[in-house]
Amino acid sequence: MLGKFFKRKLDWNLIILLFSIFLGGLCGYYFPNFIQSIEWIGKIFMNTLMMLVLPLIFLALVGAITSLSDISKLGSLGKVTIVIIIINVGSAAFIGLLLSLFLKPGQGVNPSLMGQDLQTMLSQSSQNLGFSEFILGMFPANLGEVAIRSQILPIVVFGIFFSIVALRMLNKSSVASALKVCKGFKEILMGMISAVMKLTPIALFSLIGNSVSSSLLKGNLAEDMMGIFKFLIIFLLGCVILCILQFIILRILCGKNANSFLAQSIGCISTGFATASSLATLPVMLIAAETQKIDETIAKFALPLTVVFNLGSSALYVSSATLFVSQVLGIEISGFNIFLIYITTVITGLGTTGIPNAGFIATVTVLKTISVPATSVAILFPIDAVLGRVRTSVNIWGHLVCTKLIQFWISKQQ
């Protein structure tokens, strides 16, 4: 009964979002001058999100790593879980990069769809980094200066270093208190994000309306809409490939049991789509794990850990979205910067759990890392509001598969 109530409530939220997108596009088409006069609404929304990105990513990363408690005591179960999670997230990011590099969804899309001047955006970007610049950039002399320039990768490196040292000093009450303060700040920032996200329908109206009106006035509407559609298809195709790959691995290792495992996972996947939250679906996944005869000890350890770190579809979204935006702007991303996108995507895919619209926020993070103007990602926000539910469903399937593989691995070792 309660589940039906939440589903009904969340479906209404989805309907409101879709209506905002439709109304914004309609007004952008028929009243382009009016829509452009309220462009500032969408810009305030985007600026507020980007203002919160840096501290939130840092605190989320610290919270995720320190939640492991004592790494030295995790044993074989913990090590196997972490390895499988990293392989899954890395594979997802690779699929997103590969599809976007070969199919080039952003090629030919006019940057006017972003509602900004191309030259202005390109003036904010920089040349591809070399290896030495990349390494030096991760260890800046002035962390405050890096924060002001919104360069996320040095903050991530600092966050990982901070967390590892904190884990080794958990026996000190002052360190435990400091981590509680970090947790408190994270909760406050997530509350701020949640408050901002309540304005999503209004922001969507402004953003999609301005994009459509800008594209319409320049005569590129049909081509630009096709570009967005191509990105949508590539992302969904990547999700399908990721899920099929996970199922094939499961079938190879577990035989025909993989079929019943898939059938029994449908309930969790649909719950994830309805709630748009892996954390909210965790109790349902624990029940499903018991039904699927996964050892209780493994399930209670691995599932919460995968929910925190195993954001495969988010990594797929971020890698493909980053290349899509770069292609729209005509910025060539090649060589070492592709590797940089991959590494940053995997890191953000491991540490942004629980953050509203985590995939979108992580995309902003990666764009900042390669010095592509992050405001340009507004082009994807209208569809991201809907795709978030797809990402959650794919992630939940990944959580269950990883947990099953962990049990298989542990049973073979015994």
- What is the rounded distance in angstroms from the CA atom of residue 81 to the CA atom of residue 409? 10
Instruction: Kindly state the percentage of the chain with pLDDT values over 90.
Output: 12
pLDDT digits (tens, 9 = 90+) for 19-44: 887 888 888 888 888 888 888 887 78
Q: How many CA atoms lie within 13 A of 68 on its CB side?
A: 27
pLDDT digits (tens, 9 = 90+) for 98-151: 999 998 888 877 676 555 544 444 444 444 455 566 667 677 777 777 666 666
Provide the pLDDT for residue 394.
93
Please state the separation of Cα 59 from the chain's center in Å: 16
Is pLDDT of 399 > 80?
yes
Provide the pLDDT for residue 74.
55
Helix (H, G, I), strand (E, B) or coil at 293: coil
Exposure string over 256-292, b if 16+ CB within 10 A, otherwise e: eebeebbeebeebbebbbbbbbbeebbebbbebbeeb
**Which one has a higher pLDDT value, 132 or 386?**
386
Question: Using an 8 Å Cβ cutoff, are 260 and 371 in contact?
Answer: no
Provide the pLDDT for residue 281.
80
Question: Using an 8 Å Cβ cutoff, are 110 and 224 in contact?
Answer: yes
pLDDT digits (tens, 9 = 90+) for 60-75: 778 777 776 655 555 6
**Which one has a higher pLDDT value, 245 or 292?**
245
Q: How many CA atoms lie within 13 A of 387 on its CB side?
A: 25
Question: Using an 8 Å Cβ cutoff, are 69 and 240 in contact?
Answer: no
Q: How many helices (H) and strands (E) does the chain have?
A: 18, 0
- What is the rounded distance in angstroms from the CA atom of residue 321 to the CA atom of residue 339? 15
- What is the rounded distance in angstroms from the CA atom of residue 29 to the CA atom of residue 37? 14
What average pLDDT score do residues 248-259 get? Answer: 88
In total, the chain counts a number of residues equal to: 414
**Which one has a higher pLDDT value, 57 or 38?**
38
The secondary structure element, H or E, covering residue 349 is helix 336-349
> pLDDT band for position 240 (50/70/90)?
very high
- What is the rounded distance in angstroms from the CA atom of residue 22 to the CA atom of residue 18? 6
> pLDDT band for position 235 (50/70/90)?
very high
Provide the pLDDT for residue 234.
92
- What is the rounded distance in angstroms from the CA atom of residue 334 to the CA atom of residue 265? 39
Question: What is the chain's mean pLDDT, rounded?
Answer: 78
**Which one has a higher pLDDT value, 193 or 248?**
248
Tokens of 18: 């879709």
What average pLDDT score do residues 216-230 get? Answer: 73
Provide the pLDDT for residue 357.
63
Tokens of 225: 């809409």
Q: What is the DSSP letter of 377?
A: G
Provide the pLDDT for residue 15.
76
E strands along 48-94, which residues? none
Residue 191's domain comprises: 2-413
Provide the pLDDT for residue 75.
62
- What is the rounded distance in angstroms from the CA atom of residue 116 to the CA atom of residue 99? 27
The secondary structure element, H or E, covering residue 396 is helix 381-413
Judged on CB neighbours under 10 Å (0-12, 13-18, 19+), 36 is: middle
Number of structural domains found in the chain: 1
Output the DSSP codes for 232-274. Answer: HHHHHHHHHHHHHHHHHHHHHHHTTHHHHHHHHHHHHHHHHHH
> pLDDT band for position 2 (50/70/90)?
very low
Going by C-alpha positions, the residue among 138, 141, 134 that lies closest to residue 154 is 138
Question: Using an 8 Å Cβ cutoff, are 298 and 406 in contact?
Answer: yes
Tokens of 306: 């995968």
CATH label of the domain that carries residue 118: 1.10.3860
Q: What is the DSSP letter of 198?
A: T
Provide the pLDDT for residue 354.
56
pLDDT digits (tens, 9 = 90+) for 165-197: 888 888 888 988 999 998 898 888 878 877 887
**Which one has a higher pLDDT value, 349 or 40?**
40
